[in-house]
Amino acid sequence: MKIKCIAIDDEPLALEKIKGYIERVDHLKLSGTFSNAIDALAFLQTEKADMIFLDVQMEELTGIQMIESMAEMPVVILTTAYDKYSIAGYNLNVTDYLLKPYSFQRFMQAVNKAYDALSIRRKEKPQLITNNGETSLKGFMFVKSEGKLVRVDYDKMLYIEGMKDYVRIHTFSDKIMTMQGITHLMDYLPENRFVRIHRSYIVAIDKIEAIERQTVFIDNEILPIGSSYKKHFMYVIEHHKLS
């Protein structure tokens, strides 16, 4: 599936950066770049875009105001230097927000989330886009443990515990040790299913039983929420909370 996208940002350097990122992904087709929301809206009157990378703070018309003015909204990824806009974006059903400055890795996480959203709209099976344009189903991964490659299904994972150069993957029935940094492992996990809550812990979102103050309860285990991870963790939880 080729995704037609446009990028809108009033900062030339920021626009060039996202343009460069888009051009590195074969499944993305850049249909246009704009320095203001008004020109972008005029473009969308006659052209179609599947995905919009949209800066929040712009003169004349902000990114939030642009979204509110659209009768039919494509998949939107907000780009902003201020995380205070995350709740506003959530209320407007944006797919993700990129907090400037962001890496190509973080950009790809947002693109994959947007790809899943588009797949649901088009009633296609969600897949993962890699930066060389290949796609793969994301239901499991292989890790090296005790001299062999072990398949770990995402559905069976409870949480991951970081231990210096190793991680311990806790599943319903097993604990799998692998020589891997927790940050590196997080890069390979689907962001819509796993979230990091502490420098030493990644949890499966759908396995969380309860949250109380600075702790998460999973399978009779109590895991700490790190102060530097709490804001993003609670943002993720907001997406799953009944209003």
pLDDT-derived band at 60, boundaries 50, 70, 90: confident
What pLDDT is stored for residue 83 in this prediction?
65
Same-domain status, 25 and 44: yes
What pLDDT is stored for residue 135 in this prediction?
43
Max Cα-Cα span within the chain: 60
Same-domain status, 93 and 189: no
What pLDDT is stored for residue 173 in this prediction?
92
Same-domain status, 86 and 155: no
Domain boundary among 108, 135, 162: 135
Examine the pLDDT at 125 and tell me if it is beyond 60.
Answer: no
Residue 7 in contact with residue 33, Cβ under 8 Å?
Answer: yes
What pLDDT is stored for residue 147 in this prediction?
83
- Total domain count for the chain? 2
Domain boundary among 135, 162, 190: 135
What pLDDT is stored for residue 52 in this prediction?
95
Same-domain status, 14 and 124: yes
For helices 12-23 and 104-121, the axis angle rounded to 10 degrees is 70
What pLDDT is stored for residue 69 in this prediction?
83
Q: Which residue has the tokens 């062999």?
A: 148
Same-domain status, 130 and 145: no
Tens of pLDDT, residues 168-204: 999 999 999 998 888 878 877 887 889 999 999 999 9
| Cα–Cα distance, 203 to 169 (Å, whole number) | 10
Same-domain status, 131 and 143: no
Same-domain status, 34 and 122: yes
Residue 151: inside a domain = yes
What pLDDT is stored for residue 121 in this prediction?
67
Distances (CA, A) of 174 to 62, 153, 171, 186: 50, 12, 5, 20
Give which of 203, 191, 189 is closest to 152, Cα–Cα: 189
Can you give the residue range of the structural domain that contains 190?
139-238
Tokens found for residue 129: 């886009």
Same-domain status, 8 and 101: yes
What CATH number does residue 145 fall under?
2.40.50.1020
Same-domain status, 153 and 213: yes
For the chain, what is the mean pLDDT? 84
Query: Considering only 9-18, 60-69, 74-83, 91-100, which range has the smallest mean pLDDT?
Result: 91-100
pLDDT-derived band at 68, boundaries 50, 70, 90: confident
142 sits in which H/E element: strand 140-145
Distances (CA, A) of 222 to 203, 215, 216: 11, 6, 6
Same-domain status, 103 and 206: no
Tens of pLDDT, residues 205-221: 999 999 998 999 999 99
Tens of pLDDT, residues 80-124: 887 665 545 455 678 888 888 899 989 998 888 888 777 766 654
Exposure b/e, 147-173, CB count within 10 A at least 16 = b: eeeeebeeebbbbbbbeeeebebbbee
Same-domain status, 45 and 162: no
What pLDDT is stored for residue 196 in this prediction?
92
Residue type, 3: I
Tokens found for residue 75: 């998949």
Domain boundary among 78, 104, 135: 135
The residue ranking higher by pLDDT, 223 or 140, is: 223
What CATH number does residue 93 fall under?
3.40.50.2300
The residue ranking higher by pLDDT, 229 or 224, is: 224
Q: Say if strands 3-8 and 51-55 run parallel, antiparallel, or are unpaired.
A: parallel
Same-domain status, 130 and 148: no
Which 3 state secondary structure label does DSSP give 138? coil
Residue 243: inside a domain = no
